[in-house]
Amino acid sequence: MKKFAIVDIETTGSYSASPGITEIAIVIHDGEKVVDTFETLLDPGGSVLPFVTKLTGITNEMLLDAPKFEEVAKRIWEMTEDAVFVAHSVNFDFSYIHNAFKTLGADFRRKKLCTVRLSRKMFPGYPSYSLGNICTNLGINFGNRHRAMGDAIATTKLFEKCLAADTGDVIMQSLKKNSMEAMLPPNLPVEVFRSLPEETGVYYFHDTKGKIMYVGKAINIKKRIYSHFTAKGSKLSFHTAIGNITWQLCGTELIALLLESDEIKRIYPLYNQAQKHDRGNHILTEYTDQRGIRHIHLAKNHPTLKPAIAFRSFDAARSFMFRMIEEFELCPKYCGMQTSPGACFDYQVKKCKGVCASEEKVEQYNRRVNNALKSIRKESETKLIIGRGRSISEKSVVLIENGNYKGFGFFDDKQNVTTIEHARTIIQPFRHTGDVQRILNGAYETG
């Protein structure tokens, strides 16, 4: 006969990187009835946030004399030993307890069952499977909501209903090692994960209402998404919110990178931090002053600036600029590398071949600036990047025209796309941004 440890915890917040547990309740169930219980407040080693106190009623004062986790760890370990760990959104509770034991040098491992996933299977069709809503819909009465024992008792009653409704051996199938049920977010159907392709593309995490909450790219979509769910220190509130996953195949990693960058800026997903804004970091740009002298300078990227090239770091940008100054005999002052008044230092030591000494050299100097800029754009001025398609009978094309990314598209591998005009009829147009420039720079560097 199986032993089930039905667990609920209250915490100081939503992360499991540190113990942070303020209360724990355990109900031991033998598959037919409750055989043991345990509950206690815990000293979390930190303050309870005001919104948590408002939700649970647990105050910092209540925890002053509460035991620390290590004082009750032996009891928790023994009660859950050889038991299936059951909870509503099981990965949340389990991760906190696992990390609390980890701080003691112990590796807490238990088989897991999630009552969110079970109730979705046993009682399909409800709009919400939060503990409060599903219990109300199933006629389960309970009190002391948002306290550990109150929620543990409610979860126990829900689990008993799942046991009674399990005519197809669903629970035992969920406990098999290869079922992946315990690893997946509670609101994500296992069929969605199983249908994921092991190919290159962009993937989208949707919340339970269908809204896109995260965009990512991967060489192997299924493998990358699996790593999201198994990575240590991952955000549990993010996992709990996932209700569906969609994707677009891209054929090549370059197209996946370009599409991901554009989609993040277009959709502005809640959980994407990088690339929401065009973060070209440092770019090289140019302008002509009132005297007709062309200036090249480094700047923070901005939508009003047109980058000649973008850099991953300021150090990389400075190194590039100094190499260009030396190669094309440019003036450090008019390249923004010297800001002191008067002529540049190179002129003072009689090395400057720029326009510090005489404006009669402006035309000659501007030609060297033009040659420098041409050299930057030489590799990417006009380019068709042909690569793999989304299937064996397809190829892809990325169009770079006059140094600007125009977009990508797919075509039948029996065709031969060799002209800019033909590529224009195939591609889906996209914006050229600082992030795109950095992606393309990386593509050229790696061949």
Residue 273 domain flag: no
Same structural domain for residues 148 and 294? no
Same domain assignment for residues 28 and 151? yes
Q: From CA 227, how far away is CA 253, in angstroms rounded?
A: 18
Which value, in Å, is the radius of gyration of the alpha carbons in the chain? Answer: 30
Q: How confident is the prediction for the chain on average, in pLDDT?
A: 86
- Just list the catalytic residues: 146
Distance CA 358, CA 261 (A): 46
Q: Do residues 139 and 32 share a domain?
A: yes
Domain assignment present for 272: no
H/E segment holding residue 135: helix 131-137
pLDDT at 305 exceeding the cut of 50: yes
At 111 the three-state DSSP class reads coil
Is the pLDDT confidence value at 277 over 90?
no
pLDDT average, residue stretch 255-280: 85
How much is the average pLDDT of 222-237? 77
- Euclidean distance between CA atoms 16 and 100, whole angstroms: 9
The stretch 191-220 carries a mean pLDDT of 95
Q: How far apart are CA 113 and CA 159, in angstroms?
A: 10
Mean pLDDT of 83-96: 92
Same domain, 30 and 101: yes
pLDDT band at 447 (very low <50, low <70, confident <90, very high): very low
Q: Say if residue 202's pLDDT is above 50.
A: yes
Q: How far apart are CA 242 and CA 255, in angstroms?
A: 25
Percent of the chain predicted with pLDDT > 90: 49
Q: Are residues 197 and 169 in the same domain?
A: no
Per-residue model confidence (pLDDT) at position 434 = 73
Outline where 187-313 has alpha helix (H): 190-194, 221-230, 236-241, 253-267
Residue where a domain terminates, one of 267, 302, 332: 267
Q: Is residue 275 part of a domain?
A: no
Domain residues for the domain of 398 are: 382-445
Higher pLDDT, 310 or 151: 151
Q: Are residues 160 and 18 in the same domain?
A: yes
Largest Cα–Cα distance in the chain? 97
Residue 91's pLDDT is: 87
Report the candidate in 223, 221, 227 with the shortest Cα–Cα distance to residue 239: 227
Amino acid at residue number 295: H
Domain assignment present for residue 295? The answer is yes
Task: Count the domains in the chain.
Answer: 4
- Residue 139 has a pLDDT of 94
The rounded distance, in Å, linking the Cα atoms of 381 and 162 is 63
34 and 160 inside one domain: yes
- Kindly indicate the confidence band of residue 358, based on its pLDDT and cuts at 50, 70 and 90: low
The answer to whether the Cα torsion of 57, 59, 62, 68 is positive or negative is positive
Would you list the DSSP string of 375-426? Answer: HHHHTTSEEEEEEE-SSTTEEEEEEEETTEEEEEEEEETTS---SHHHHHHH
Q: Residue 164 sits in a domain of what CATH number?
A: 3.30.420.10
Q: Which two three-digit tokens encode residue 347?
A: 């002129």
Q: Are residues 241 and 354 in the same domain?
A: no
Check pLDDT > 70 for residue 425. Answer: yes
* Model-wide pTM > 0.85: no
Q: What is the pLDDT of residue 446?
A: 42
pLDDT score of 369 more than 50 = yes
Which of 95-104, 206-215, 373-382 comes out lowest in average pLDDT? 373-382
Residue 27 and residue 157: Cα distance in Å, rounded? 11
Query: DSSP letter string over 167-203?
Result: -S-HHHHHTSGGG-TTTS-TTS-HHHHHT--SSSEEE
- DSSP letter assigned to residue 61: G
Least confident span in 20-29, 124-133, 262-271, 337-346: 337-346
Same domain, yes or no, for 366 and 231?
no
Mean pLDDT across 201-209: 95
pLDDT surpassing 60 at residue 280? no
Burial label for 170, CB within 10 Å (0-12, 13-18, 19+), is middle
Give the residue-averaged pLDDT of 419-426: 93
Question: Helix H segments across 247-302?
Answer: 253-267
The verdict on 95 and 108 lying in the same domain is yes
| Same domain as 398, residue 256 | no
Least confident among 53-62, 203-212, 305-314: 305-314
